[in-house]
Amino acid sequence: MKTVAFQGESGAYSEEAIREHFGAKVSTLARQSFEGIFAAVGAGEADLGALPVENSTAGSINRAYDLLLQHDFKVHGEMVLRVRHNLMTVAGGDGEITHVRSHPQALAQCERFLNERGYVAVPWYDTAGAARDLARDPEGGVGVIASALAAEEYGLEIITRDVEDSPDNFTRFFLVGRGEAPRADHSKTSLIFAVPHAPGSLVAALRELSDRDINLTKLESRPRRGRTWEYFFYVDFEGHWEEDRCRDALAGLLNRAAFLKSLGSYPAATPSDDPESDEGQREMLQI
């Protein structure tokens, strides 16, 4: 049985993603920070860590990418979770809900729902933490926005499901671990690189990929610490580094780059999990 570490309290959306990906028999390990995920994997307390790297509405999670640069773990897979916010309260509680607690980002993603009902939004440090705290210390007129897993974990009653303002709310996770991931038929490769501070250097680097018909699925820059106005580039592309065209592209990129770090090749999310795929889009419409 695999053990997968995640950030947050039990019932967090990260844990929900893990259980959807691996099944109910997976063992999970809650940690208070992203750094704690890496520490748990490094100490052998967890086989893998579930690291959220981007959200379809809020964008990339910069701290996650900074930690991938700092540590020597590899990406072993990716997960895509359709984030479903639920309004819940103490089972059998008396009185109408007037105040709703949750993480500020979750409250922002449910703003229209809250305003239409006149609920007062109360920021909390964590979605699952808000559910746990209400279960431990019940308070009349208080509800929580959190995952269905959190309601199950803490014995809360879901009043309204899917209260998010937009259904197009997905979070992508990397599964990070030691060593290389087993090769899969449908793989992605992730890497970090920097180029010399000279005209055309980035174009020349990316041409090593495009000239070999390699499809980029992500390209993003992050400031390079200690070098003002210079940047690291984070790239995901389709293919495995052991394929001839990918291996040749990486060799060419290495000659162009001032710095290059491979985060590894790993099984890509299945089409039904990936909202960017045609099959994923069809499944979204059926939700």
Q: What average pLDDT does the structure give for the chain?
A: 91
Q: Quick one: how many helices (H) and strands (E) in the chain?
A: 10, 15
* CA–CA gap between residue 93 and residue 121 (Å, rounded): 19
Residue 37 lies in a domain: yes
**Is 275 a member of any domain?**
no
Q: Which of 146, 180, 214 is the last residue of a domain?
A: 180
Q: Residue 7: pLDDT band by 50, 70, 90 thresholds?
A: very high
Residues 32 and 129 both lie in one domain: no
**pLDDT band for position 283 (50/70/90)?**
very low
Residue 96 sits in the same domain as residue 78: no
Q: Has residue 92 got a pLDDT over 60?
A: yes
Residue 237 confidence (pLDDT): 97
Please tell me the predicted confidence (pLDDT) of residue 281: 38
- What average pLDDT does range 260-275 have in this prediction? 80
CATH of the domain at 121: 3.40.190.10
pLDDT tens, residue by residue, 189-216: 999 999 998 999 999 999 999 999 999 9
- Catalytically active residues are 171, 173
Whether 238 and 268 have beta carbons less than 8 Å apart is answered as yes
Report d(CA 111, CA 128) in Å as an integer: 19
Is residue 287 in a domain?
Answer: no
Q: Answer whether residue 45 is part of any domain.
A: yes
Kindly tell me the burial class for residue 102, based on how many C-beta atoms sit within 10 Å of its own C-beta (0-12, 13-18, 19 or more): buried
For residues 95 and 141, membership in a common domain is answered with yes
Identify whether the C-beta of residue 18 lies closer than 8 Å to the C-beta of residue 50.
Answer: yes
The predicted model scores a pTM of 0.88
Q: Is residue 284 part of a domain?
A: no
Looking at the fold, whether 262 and 199 belong to one and the same domain comes out as: yes
Do 75 and 106 lie in one domain? The reply is no
- Could you read off the pLDDT of 215-259 as tens digits, one per residue? 999 999 999 988 888 899 999 999 999 999 999 999 999 999 999
Domain-terminating residue out of 115, 150, 180 = 180
The domain of 208 spans 187-267
Same-domain pairing of 78 and 108: no
Task: Tell whether 207 is covered by a domain.
Answer: yes
Examine the domain organization and report whether 203 and 259 are in the same domain: yes
Report CA torsion sign: 252, 255, 259, 260.
positive
Q: The domain spanning residue 260 has which CATH number?
A: 3.30.70.260
Q: Are residues 141 and 207 in the same domain?
A: no
Q: Please tell me the predicted confidence (pLDDT) of residue 37.
A: 98
Number of domains in the chain: 3
Reported confidence tier of residue 115, pLDDT bands at 50, 70, 90: very high
Strands (E), the chain: 3-7, 27-31, 48-55, 59-60, 74-82, 86-90, 99-102, 120-123, 142-146, 156-160, 170-177, 187-194, 216-223, 231-238, 259-267
**Is residue 277 situated within a structural domain?**
no
**Is 175 found in the same domain as 40?**
yes
> Do the domain assignments include residue 22?
yes
Give the model's pLDDT for residue 94: 63
Do 141 and 175 fall into the same domain?
no
42 plus 106 within the same structural domain: no
pLDDT in tens, 29-83: 999 999 999 999 999 999 999 999 999 888 899 999 999 999 999 999 999 999 9
Q: Are residues 50 and 175 in the same domain?
A: yes
Q: How confident is the model at residue 179 (pLDDT cuts 50, 70, 90)?
A: very high
